[in-house]
Structure 1
Amino acid sequence: MEHFSDLALLEQIKASDHFAFDVLFDRYWEKLYKTAYARLGDDVIAQDIVQEIFIKIWQRRESLSINTSLENYLHGAVRLSVISHFRSQQATDVKMQDALERINLLEDSIEAIADYIELEKTLEEAVNNMPEMLKKVYMLRSDNLSVKAIAGELGLADQTVKNYIAEATRRLRIVIAEKYPEKHLTYTALLLPLLLHK
């Protein structure tokens, strides 16, 4: 069964096959953990997030419907869970609290993960069209580097990095508003962690 395709494993899991689930877990746990850890820098929280994703898959196995590749689905689930982790941090601003509530509404449904994967593709295209330095700053910030760390790596002043982050976010907001007019407030909330300067 270790050589089964992801699709075949999913079919077995839907039939409550524990061994198929174990194979799936072994196949993706390390990759997902590395994705979570790269964004959080916290070993325990990264492990908890990945564990919770697999628990949800097992709990929802009978109704599970994935319209993308399983690997994309799982990585999308990790990224959404990392974003929702910010909900546990105390909000000091009413607008921030409102944005985090929108993230909360978005992050717990299977459909949301598929939507999020589509959104990520849209944002990736937009980022690739940005000027090189703007793109570098955005990518480093997306990997959860602090403003000071980005400034040190790129040889920029802290304020310059903050300006680049604000400009990249402004451009992405425009793209989101144009492509997803009905959901742009919710999707824009997903950019919130980029703006939490530290």
Structure 2
Amino acid sequence: MYLKIDERIFRELFHTYYDRLYTGFYKKTGSYEQAQDLTQQTFIKFWRYRDSYNPELSVEIQLFRKGKLVFIDWLRKESKERQMIDSLQQQEKIPVEELSADLKDSLNQAIDQLSPMRKEVFNLAYIEGYSHKEIAEKLNVSVRTVETHVYKSVQQLRKILALIFIMLHL
């Protein structure tokens, strides 16, 4: 037997517990945006699995358990991204001047496919040699935002360059 949560009950739960969940996530992350995202994810997942809750446990306990699981998932993802970013930062940067002409052309083509923000962050970090902190100050964004753009840019460039490399060598 499962607890049945309809839209009316869910709305009440949302209004009753949103602030508590949000405050808890904010205290743990230190970020308004991240706290908001985690709170929304918690309610989305709670709604998605609304037909599988135990009627013997309070709805509050089950909602906060879902929030805990959402937070643990976020920490795991955050940890993986942080490790990748740290690994990228430790890799030796190869000066653009040392690249072959074909590779330079391929790299420029790939860079042109990045979004404007990622392209700017990538150029500042890898072409002009700015630190993440300097880029953050220059663009008026957080260091974490810069790290994310660098990570995602490199990820996207790897995919694009892999395709270009395959096409060149067919």
**TM-score by structure 1 length?**
0.35
Q: Larger radius of gyration, structure 1 or 2?
A: 2
**TM-score by structure 2 length?**
0.40
